[in-house]
Amino acid sequence: MAYQAPVNDIMQVLKSAAGLDELLSNGTLEGVEEDTIRAVLEEAGKFGAEVLDPLYITGDRTGSKLVDGKVVTPAGWKDAYKQFADGGWGALAASEEWGGQDLPQVVATAAGEIWNSANLAFGLCPLLTFGAIDAIEAQGSDALKKTYLPKMVTGEWTGTMNLTEPHAGSDLGQLKSRAEPQGDGTYRLFGTKIFITYGDHEMTDNIIHLVLARLPDAPPGTRGISLFLVPKYLVNKDGSIGARNDVVCAGVEHKLGIHASPTCVMKYGEKDGAIGYLVGEENRGLNVMFIMMNAARLAVGTQGVSVAERATQQATAYAKERKQGRTASSKAGEMGPIIEHADIRRTLMTMRALTQAARAICLVTARETDVARRAKDPAQRAHAANRVALLTPIAKAFSTDIGCEVASMGVQVHGGMGFIEETGAAQIYRDARILPIYEGTNGIQAMDLVGRKLPLEGGKVVAGYIGELQKTVEEVRASNRPEFGRMGEKLGEAVAALAEASRWLGGALQKNPDAAMAGATPYLRLFGLASGGVYLARGALAAARNGGQAEPIAVARFFAENIASAAGGLKDTVIGGAESTLMLSPDALSA
Ligand SMILES: Cc1cc2nc3c(=O)[nH]c(=O)nc-3n(C[C@H](O)[C@H](O)[C@H](O)COP(=O)(O)OP(=O)(O)OC[C@H]3O[C@@H](n4cnc5c(N)ncnc54)[C@H](O)[C@@H]3O)c2cc1C
């Protein structure tokens, strides 16, 4: 299968669910034209299809390896990265001040979907660099910005994120890496970080690590963590590359998927200490890292869309070719293509609908990021910032969960050939599995949604959001279009279920936090189903207004009638399932 970027689908979601026309006409995206967005996405699609996609399977088979202390990426990787940087792709959303193109986040998110569909293991490298750029731009000193941002924006240098340690994964408060002030404004870092994506490689002549560590007098827990910029090579005053810093890659993990992405054990300070520079304030490193993590969480959610899209394209192509069994249109004595069987059609519709719903959630989150950064009215910016906060865990967890589910369905459509590596369906499934784990596991996302986002502004943020979903449901109902079937009714039930579960959780959080957290994961799913269903319905309404294209209407109706219809059960699980979830004590569970 050759991957093809779904530019028309993306543009349709941008215009219907993400309200692109409004952003272009009200000046939020001043200086940007719809045609420019389409042209950028078409070029991103060409790059994905022509440069990245051909390396998808070969990169998986070779993998990245540690050879004589250096990470060697698969054949073709270095050249593809050079083409990526030369094409200016690293500069897409970065600010003009540092050499970027200052394009909106919706464009960067959509382009990210495309590159990660074409090659997930490759796409991770720029994904992390973009996050590092955001963090340095937001909190770095002027000197750090001037020295590092221009080269990171051009893609000459890549960035990494160093949080995880062997005993500190989800609980970063446990991290032990230490940083000793040198009295000259620099620090020396000591410690081991694990699972560091693209921690080392030979594609660029420098790598800029952002590292969490503790100062000698730091308070324990998350309040004692600072963030440091640690370059692989020190940079001389004139900007040229200087001495090698005291940071090495001590190992590359063997793993289930994304074999071409080097997942590194990084050792800081094996000799005199790795020289680092403070980013932001002492002991406030986690706050800075959150800037990077929120952007990265949306980007990882988008990777869920990427794998789902790739799996759907691959399964659809296979289902058109593979012949088994007779169908209504089969000639006597002949088998028909499996795409004609109702059960395969259901699977392909489910794959398509989940992919499009997750894409809409990610692009709406990106849209709110643009409004939060660019709107002229401060109240509008604040409102959008709350929306970003609310939607980020859903974008991350819902999209990556469905990424795995859709990839699994893709294997199923291939039958036995799906289990054989040759077709590539198995690789998509293996690659997808990391997405619910890194960038904050999906369990942690669900707890964030319930514990931090639901109480935002006393529950007003979520209530306002649900109110908007309800308005779209009313529009669907009022449209009275026979081709919409039971879309209005089913989405109405889903949004009502979301409202009821939200109210219940709001109360439970005060009285019995364990019961609230026991329902966090089904609640996040319910949130994703209600939101995704409504966003697809906005696409159906737009399609109906524009002459009634069949596809967006069919997908939205299918989602409402076949997928969002699970909302009532999820609400019951949230409200009535906590007691039995917690019935067996941890001791009984471990017996
Ligand atoms: C391929 C790969 C690439 C990675 N890239 C990077 C990278 O570039 N930089 C980096 O810093 N890290 C990276 N990571 C690390 C990744 O972010 C962590 O694996 C992840 O945050 C989970 O931490 P953990 O593995 O220690 O799992 P744990 O924290 O041990 O979690 C195990 C399970 O317990 C659950 N859990 C943990 N705490 C709680 C809680 N309080 N309440 C409820 N449930 C809980 C989790 O949801 C999970 O299901 C990468 C990991 C992999 C595998």
Per the annotation, the verdict on 439 as an active-site residue is yes
pLDDT of residue 295: 86
Q: Is 170 in the pocket of ligand 1 (CB under 6 A)?
A: yes
Is residue 192 within 8 Å of 166, Cβ to Cβ?
yes
Joined tokens for residue 257? 């998927």
Residue of minimum CA distance from atom 19 in ligand 1:
438
Mean confidence (pLDDT) of the chain: 96
pLDDT digits (tens, 9 = 90+) for 356-407: 999 999 999 999 999 999 999 999 999 999 999 999 999 999 999 999 999 9
Q: Is 124 in the pocket of ligand 1 (CB under 6 A)?
A: no
pLDDT of residue 208: 98
pLDDT of residue 327: 80
Q: Which atom of ligand 1 is nearest the CA belonging to 128?
A: 8
Q: Is 268 in the pocket of ligand 1 (CB under 6 A)?
A: no
* Structural element, H or E, at residue 75: none
How buried is residue 464: exposed, middle or buried, by Cβ count under 10 Å (0-12/13-18/19+)? middle
Q: Is 521 in the pocket of ligand 1 (CB under 6 A)?
A: no
Distance 168 CA to ligand 1 centre (A): 8
Measured CA to CA in angstroms, residue 385 lies from 294, 377, 461, 520 at distances of 12, 12, 10, 22
pLDDT digits (tens, 9 = 90+) for 67-84: 999 999 999 999 999 999
pLDDT digits (tens, 9 = 90+) for 431-481: 999 999 999 999 999 999 999 999 999 999 999 999 999 999 999 999 999
The predicted model gives 115-125 an average pLDDT of 98
Distance 124 CA to ligand 1 centre (A): 17
Strands 241-244 and 158-162: unpaired
The rounded distance, in Å, linking the Cα atoms of 378 and 440 is: 30
Distance 19 CA to ligand 1 centre (A): 35
The rounded distance, in Å, linking the Cα atoms of 74 and 63 is: 6
Is residue 90 within 8 Å of 20, Cβ to Cβ?
no
pLDDT of residue 234: 98
Output 327 or 441, whichever has higher pLDDT. 441
Exactly one of 113, 165, 439, 493 is catalytic; name it.
439
Q: Is 197 in the pocket of ligand 1 (CB under 6 A)?
A: yes
Give the rounded percent of residues in the chain with a pLDDT score beyond 90.
94
Q: Is 437 in the pocket of ligand 1 (CB under 6 A)?
A: yes
The predicted model gives 523-550 an average pLDDT of 95
Joined tokens for residue 34? 């719809």
pLDDT of residue 311: 98
- Ligand 1 pocket, mutate which of 438, 442, 450, 589 (most atoms under 8 A from CB): 438
pLDDT at residue 291 greater than cutoff 80: no
pLDDT digits (tens, 9 = 90+) for 184-218: 999 999 999 999 999 999 999 999 999 999 999 99
SS3 70: strand
pLDDT of residue 548: 75
pLDDT of residue 583: 95
For residue 482, give the DSSP letter.
G
Output 580 or 93, whichever has higher pLDDT. 580
Distance 438 CA to ligand 1 centre (A): 6
Band (124; pLDDT cuts 50, 70, 90): very high
Distance 36 CA to ligand 1 centre (A): 38
